[in-house]
Homo-oligomer: A and B are copies of this chain.
């Protein structure tokens, strides 16, 4: 062998020996910025987002009216961050704690559910949920221990237990396992719920308040208390629920046969141990497949009804299933916000709004997955003027009732609002295409599986069916806006006419008075009588 040959051989051996297995904790620890933990400002919001996601899910599953306390405390401890562009940067250590009145976690599962990445009940479930990928809270704890070296403290209690369990833990990244530092039973003045506390270097901005406000619009049946201590000053933002009606809990669904991947179908069939034959397999595991439909599909796929499931030919079955019209899945599995609740939440948030409206579309499906779109709008008033962005259309985006704080321009919800020509619906737009009257739109998507564009859950990907439903909802909302704007303009024109006639008649009355020498006519009184009828019938309120 030549020297070169020996060298290349050696390099190949060395490279192969360097290969080893990584676990998900190691992977996500190195990729935390992609989950939203990119800097002290974003990390604070992401931490609160993941914690409140879990809290709302934990109340929803028990049909509990959520009471969520969020504590954001800037400690006096100052941390030096890695220098950037040669500059030394500082941030304060923050204590962040979120407490809920959810169902709680059974004590022997607390450490695993918090301290092991990809451990949870969510990844394998197809059901409308806030957290859906099984990474959220463990990413918070990974980030916290990475930056502050401190453990997380979890307190949880389930109904009927006398004491709560308090666990102080870190994650052993190289093993992807929790390291329990303390565990004890404690008294907790709460019947059930969970509290999670972490420390991270952070930077507070009013995006936090904004996030909680938007969260309350998506969850009008929840109460939120945001307790802050920033620069030594304590303050509190309390948002009460605007409805006592608990939305029906979302239901888990079976997959739809037309949209399942062949590889998944094949695997499901191969591991199935309960079903005797393909007919029972298909009708048991898939939504909207009766034994009759199963037989029809199998016949067209030239597979015998009596074959055991592991003899399936997934590609043949799907070739048939995707070419025939299968029944849609059941749509009553979602938990939407509701028109009334959106209107109430918007009125509560923007108290001096001139006009508030909402539209709920009926549920529909994309790729066999049920989803539902709702939109709302609030127009006019000082509070919206303060809230709305003057440079672009302001859209509160909610996905499974959770605000999406980033990646606006990539998000289907935002893009679709911008697609609509709001001029056609009576909204005057400035040169930037922003409504001249302060306006806030709300767009909400609930789905058994939200098509996010990235694992950080920042934006909704473009899906034709969702887009089409959004357009229909926004057009209907547009018609409500047009009606309001029409009445508003008519009323304004009545007022103008009134003012016009008033001036005219006053002069006329004066002239008549001078000529006739008679007493001054009460022009105002006469005109008011004249216009009263008009104003009443066209009242915009």
Interface residues of A (CB under 8 A from B): 1, 5-9, 11-13, 15-16, 18-24, 26-27, 30-31, 33-34, 38, 61-62, 64, 79-85, 88, 103-106, 109, 112-113, 116, 118-121, 123-125, 133-135, 145-149, 158-160, 173-174, 192, 258-264, 266-267, 271, 314-315, 318-319, 322-323, 366-368, 407, 409-410, 451-456, 461, 464-465, 468
Contact = CB atoms under 8 A, between A and B. Distances in A.
B81 A322 contact: yes
B461 A109 contact: no
Contacts of A366: 84
B267 A173 contact: yes
* Shortest 9 CB-CB contacts between residues of A and residues of B: A146-B263, A82-B259, A8-B159, A18-B121, A16-B106, A80-B322, A12-B158, A22-B118, A12-B103
B319 A103 contact: no
B12 A106 contact: yes
Contacts of A148: 262
* This protein's copies in its complex: 2
Contact of A116 (B21, B84, B315): B21
B34 A455 contact: yes
A318 B91 CA distance: 14
A118 B27 contact: yes
A88 B322 CA distance: 7
A9 B158 contact: yes
B84 A367 contact: yes
A19 B368 contact: no
Given A146-B261, A160-B1, A82 B368 contact: yes
Contacts of A80: 318-319, 322-323
B11 A134 contact: no
A61 B105 contact: no
Nearest to A319: B80
A381 B62 CA distance: 68
Given A79-B319, A322-B83, A160 B6 contact: yes
Q: Which of A15, A159, A455, A456 has the largest count of B CB atoms less than 10 A from its CB?
A: A15
A454 B149 CA distance: 26
A32 to B, nearest CB: 9
A8 B461 contact: no
Contacts of A119: 19-22
Contact of A38 (B260, B315, B461): B461
A258 B61 contact: no
Given A158-B12, A322-B88, A323-B88, A146 B264 contact: yes
Given A112-B19, A323-B88, A465-B85, A123 B159 contact: no
Contact of A27 (B85, B123, B407, B464): B123
A191 to B, nearest CB: 8
B258 A158 contact: no
Contact of A145 (B120, B145, B263): B263
B267 A21 contact: no
A149 B315 contact: yes
10 contacts: A15-B105, A18-B125, A19-B109, A19-B120, A22-B24, A27-B133, A80-B322, A83-B259, A146-B261, A149-B262
A18 B109 CA distance: 11
Contacts of A112: 19
A120 B262 CA distance: 28
Contacts of A468: 85
Given A30-B123, A82-B258, A83-B367, 7 more contacts: A8-B103, A16-B105, A19-B112, A20-B124, A22-B24, A22-B120, A407-B410
A15 B322 contact: no
B261 A31 contact: no
Nearest to A22: B118
Nearest to A4: B159
Contacts of A124: 20, 22, 26
A159 B9 contact: yes
Nearest to A314: B149
A159 B15 CA distance: 13
A541 to B, nearest CB: 41
A208 B1 CA distance: 39
Contacts of A26: 118, 123-124
Given A27-B118, A192-B12, A258-B83, A123 B158 contact: no
Given A82-B322, A192-B8, A106 B13 contact: yes
A452 B30 CA distance: 12
B367 A82 contact: yes
